[in-house]
């Protein structure tokens, strides 16, 4: 490792936590600090607790619409409500460029559609990884005894075998990765859903302005 190049972006080198009871790990920590400097942290790594449980279900995403609708005023009120607008608050003059608003909405819709398609393309791959029985090491050390190796203390052609010290870490890694992948997909779906909601709110603002402008009328001055 003496020929390794130090990072020019990391002024304070990251330091590994080294378990001194593990000779290989201790040697690796010393080799690391020979190159990058500093002093490793001795002691067993901090246990972050049980893996986070999966949150909800991984949803299916579809776009309700992909083309920004035209702003068309709705003539009259059909819900039986009063035409009295006294509760609307400030009536100061303002205007909205509906053309620019529709263009902005369409740009957000395009981005949201791209995100939905990417999400739905990625989802089967992630789902297969989550459902895999051995991708992340869940089955490590559990090879059938007739292969010459077994995780049991006796077996495999009558020989005594020992589990690899890293088997436990492999099983723990799998237990952590599966819910993490699940929750990342749920989180990504939530963000994309908010993108769609924002586009819908833009259109709703334009429709409300269009209706208000269409309903406006000159009144007699007091």
What confidence tens digit (pLDDT) does each residue in 65-97 have? 999 999 988 654 444 444 555 545 556 677 788
Pair 210, 103 in one domain? yes
Pair 23, 125 in one domain? no
The number of distinct structural domains making up the chain is 2
Written as six digits, the tokens of 115 are 């995100």
Pair 69, 147 in one domain? yes
Pair 109, 187 in one domain? yes
The reported pLDDT for the residue numbered 10 is: 53
Pair 30, 132 in one domain? no
Tell me what percent of the residues of the chain surpass a pLDDT of 90: 30
Pair 110, 196 in one domain? yes
Residue 83 lies in a domain: no
At 159 the three-state DSSP class reads strand
Pair 31, 63 in one domain? no
Pair 197, 120 in one domain? yes
Pair 120, 182 in one domain? yes
The reported pLDDT for the residue numbered 221 is: 65
pLDDT for 132 beyond 90 = no
Asked which of 106-110, 155-159, 174-178 is least confident by mean pLDDT, the reply is: 155-159
What does the alpha-carbon distance between residue 102 and residue 110 come to, in Å, rounded to a whole number?
12
CB-based contact 46:16 (threshold 8 Å): no
- For β-strands 17-18 and 41-42, DSSP reports them as parallel
Residue 49 lies in a domain: no
What does the alpha-carbon distance between residue 57 and residue 115 come to, in Å, rounded to a whole number?
19
- How many C-beta neighbours within 10 Å does residue 210 have? 18
Residue at token pair 């608003």:
101
Residue 198 domain boundaries: 56-74+94-215
The reported pLDDT for the residue numbered 143 is: 47
Residue 82 lies in a domain: no
- How many C-beta neighbours within 10 Å does residue 195 have? 17
Pair 31, 101 in one domain? no
Tell me what percent of the residues of the chain surpass a pLDDT of 70: 65
CB-based contact 189:119 (threshold 8 Å): yes
Mean per-residue pLDDT of the chain: 75
What does the alpha-carbon distance between residue 194 and residue 12 come to, in Å, rounded to a whole number?
38
pLDDT tens-digit readout, 162-175: 556 666 777 777 78
pLDDT tens-digit readout, 19-48: 777 777 778 878 877 777 777 777 665 555
The reported pLDDT for the residue numbered 101 is: 92
pLDDT tens-digit readout, 102-111: 999 999 999 9
Pair 106, 140 in one domain? yes
Has this prediction a pTM greater than 0.75? no
Residues for the chain: how many in total? 222
Residue 125 lies in a domain: yes
Pair 24, 69 in one domain? no
């Amino acid at each position: 490792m003496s020929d390794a190049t130090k990072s020019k972006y990391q002024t304070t080198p990251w330091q590994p936590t080294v378990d001194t009871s593990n000779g290989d790990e201790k040697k690796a920590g010393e080799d690391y600090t020979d190159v990058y400097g500093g002093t490793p942290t001795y002691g067993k790594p901090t246990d972050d607790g049980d893996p986070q449980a999966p949150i909800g279900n991984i949803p299916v995403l579809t776009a309700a619409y992909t083309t920004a609708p035209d702003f068309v005023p709705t003539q009259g009120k059909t819900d039986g409500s009063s035409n009295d607008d006294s509760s609307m608050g400030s009536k100061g003059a303002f205007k909205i460029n509906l053309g620019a608003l529709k263009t902005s909405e369409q740009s957000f819709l395009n981005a949201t559609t791209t995100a939905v398609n990417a999400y739905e393309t990625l989802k089967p791959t992630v789902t297969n990884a989550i459902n895999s029985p051995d991708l992340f090491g869940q089955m490590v050390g559990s090879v059938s005894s007739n292969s010459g190796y077994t995780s049991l203390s006796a077996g495999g052609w009558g020989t005594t075998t020992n589990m690899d010290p890293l088997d436990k870490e492999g099983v723990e890694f799998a237990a952590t990765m599966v819910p993490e992948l699940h929750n990342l997909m749920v989180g990504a779906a939530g963000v994309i859903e908010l993108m769609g909601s924002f586009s819908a709110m833009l259109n709703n603002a334009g429709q409300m302005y269009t209706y208000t402008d269409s309903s406006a009328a000159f009144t007699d001055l007091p």
